[in-house]
Amino acid sequence: MINEGSQESVASIVERRAIYYRSFGIYSEIGGLYDYGPVGLRIRRNIEEAWRDLFVEHIGALEIETANMLSEDVLKASGHVAAFTDPVATCMNCKTPHRIDKLLEEFYEKKGDAKAAASVKKMNIEQLEEQGERNGLVCTKCGGRLSKIEKFNLMFKTTVGQGDTVVYLRPETAQSIFLDFKTIFRSNGLKLPAVICQIGRAYRNEISARQQLVRMREFTQMDTEIFFDPELESTDLGYVKSEHVLKTRVKFISAGEEAEKECLLADLLKEGRIPNLYFAYLIYLEKKLLERMGISGERYRFRQLEKEELPHYSRGNVDLEIATRYGYIEAAGNAHRGDFDLSNHAKFSGQDLGVINGTKKTVPQIIEATLGLDRLFFALLDDAFTEEGREWPWLRLNEKMAPYSYAIFPLQKDEKLIAVAQELHRKLLGKKVACYYTDTASIGKRYAKADEIGVPRCITVDFQTLEDQTVTVRDRNTTEQIRRKIDEIA
């Protein structure tokens, strides 16, 4: 269930505490580019580490880091030069470009017709134009007439050196993993299935960057690629056992259906709604990640994409969708890519990308999970936001996601209290406990500011501390306060 309060309410905390904000804001703003402040970066890193623990360490994956630019040849082979496009119409009056599919979705959503809004995802360009004209879609900026729809490629194009070689900022992190696969496979003595992961930046020249972190032009992906031989599938990955995976229940919307149902992954696999066991592993890990982040199970679901929605490379996709005040947003894409990528790169490069697995040579197939870090971060704040129980809004973040474990305050600006509080701060930092110190503003305002950024406990050094070496520890969720010995704080 969505917490009460408008998106503007969440934005008020984000802005007031500089959790994230528009890039180079003192100049003319360009939408879709954001910087993370100290608090936001700490929360973001907590999500990264939770992902790394589950998707890298738990399944014995290898993590790499690759360049942000890709050559034009790479992206011709992957299909991005030809197919990575959005349907765009331009206002004939003010020349503002518009995503017609998004305009049409918003039109139906305002009418309360969820079925029609969902159908937009299945429409081709001719159908989008017909529906746009029938419903009288016009420019949202000036009300002018819209041009015919054109395909707009979303990649940022540039050149290197003296301009002879065309390159693009990568539209996804996956292609770099595919290009490095054989090198990693050989150098690390791998066998199939092999899992390679990466956290990195991706770039898309969105026509209508909007909804803050939901639709950005520069963003971070957390990518997992499982390379496997379909004739020799393994049952377990690392510490993750298939018996646990298959007994997992998820909320799932099957292609051709509108209602979500709670399903066992074992049943979805048996019915062919997910293509294989590796795919089930990734859905299982995504559920575990959301649980670790503390996102309520009521807020997310997995949706099987319709045939018309599938990317050109896909043999089947399932998206992870999370409910926010902007509606459901796609937070992860799971895809069966088959051998499309390695086969195409072998064809275009002239290199053999097959590997010896045991006694057999094969071009592996690929199962992929790509999670959007920024969207997960956005959904986490949206889920944690509450105005319950006090006069200010605050974030009910769980401890694994909170930016700090403690906020440390002297009760007053007294030299003796400040000295004890600062010494406690130094002690905790030395133990690698995330905490911060401040003596600015009244104690009530300091509590409120700590609540706003989700700090689970505040420690107050007062005059009793000087007598018995105890401090007041305030719980964020309940606001209850107890006395504890300083030596017990850790």
Question: What are the tokens at 41?
Answer: 């970066």
- Of 33, 40, 32, nearest to 15 by C-alpha is 40
Which of 384, 418, 444 is where one domain is finished? 384
- State the Cα–Cα distance between residues 170 and 98, nearest whole angstrom: 23
Which of 351, 384, 417 is where one domain is finished? 384
Cβ within 8 Å of residue 414, ≥6 positions away:
463
* Domain-embedded: residue 397: no
Question: What are the tokens at 295?
Answer: 């996102």
* Domain-embedded: residue 390: no
Tell me, what amino acid is at 354? G
Q: How many CB atoms lie within 10 A of CB 202?
A: 20
* Domain-embedded: residue 391: no
pLDDT in tens, 118-159: 888 888 888 898 888 889 899 988 988 999 998 888 999 999
pLDDT of residue 8: 67
- State the Cα–Cα distance between residues 32 and 180, nearest whole angstrom: 30
pLDDT of residue 102: 87
CB contact at 8 A, 206 and 32: yes
pLDDT of residue 305: 93
pLDDT in tens, 459-480: 999 999 999 999 999 999 999 9
Adjacent-strand bridge partners of 370: 223, 333
Containing domain of residue 48, as a range? 7-81+154-384
Tell whether 69 and 41 lie within a shared domain. Answer: yes
* Domain-embedded: residue 2: no
CATH of the domain at 145: 3.30.40.230
Crossing angle for the helix pair 38-52 and 277-293, to the nearest 10 degrees: 140
- Report the phi/psi class of residue 55: left, alpha or beta, with left for phi > 0 and alpha for psi in -120 to 50: alpha
Tell whether 127 and 164 lie within a shared domain. Answer: no
Tell whether 159 and 282 lie within a shared domain. Answer: yes
Q: Which residues of the chain have pLDDT under 70?
A: 1-8
* Domain-embedded: residue 441: yes
Tell whether 361 and 275 lie within a shared domain. Answer: yes
pLDDT of residue 5: 52
Tell whether 159 and 274 lie within a shared domain. Answer: yes
CA atoms within 13 A on the CB side of 264: 9
Residue 486 to residues 287, 307, 443, 470, 489, Cα–Cα distance (Å): 38, 61, 19, 5, 5
CB contact at 8 A, 420 and 461: yes
Chain position carrying tokens 């973040």? 397
Tell whether 223 and 301 lie within a shared domain. Answer: yes
pLDDT of residue 1: 42
**Three-class SS of residue 170?**
coil
Q: How many CB atoms lie within 10 A of CB 49?
A: 13
Tell whether 331 and 267 lie within a shared domain. Answer: yes
* Domain-embedded: residue 232: yes
Tell whether 323 and 408 lie within a shared domain. Answer: no
* Domain-embedded: residue 158: yes
Tell whether 368 and 420 lie within a shared domain. Answer: no
pLDDT of residue 412: 94
- State the Cα–Cα distance between residues 473 and 431, nearest whole angstrom: 19
pLDDT of residue 121: 81
Tell whether 113 and 34 lie within a shared domain. Answer: no
Angle at 320 between CA 168 and CA 386, to 5 degrees: 105
Averaged confidence pLDDT in the chain: 92
Q: Please tell me the total count of domains within the chain.
A: 3
Which of 327, 352, 384 is where one domain is finished? 384
* Domain-embedded: residue 130: yes
CATH of the domain at 418: 3.40.50.800
Tell whether 354 and 409 lie within a shared domain. Answer: no
CB contact at 8 A, 59 and 242: no
Percent share of the chain, pLDDT over 90: 70
Tell whether 279 and 358 lie within a shared domain. Answer: yes
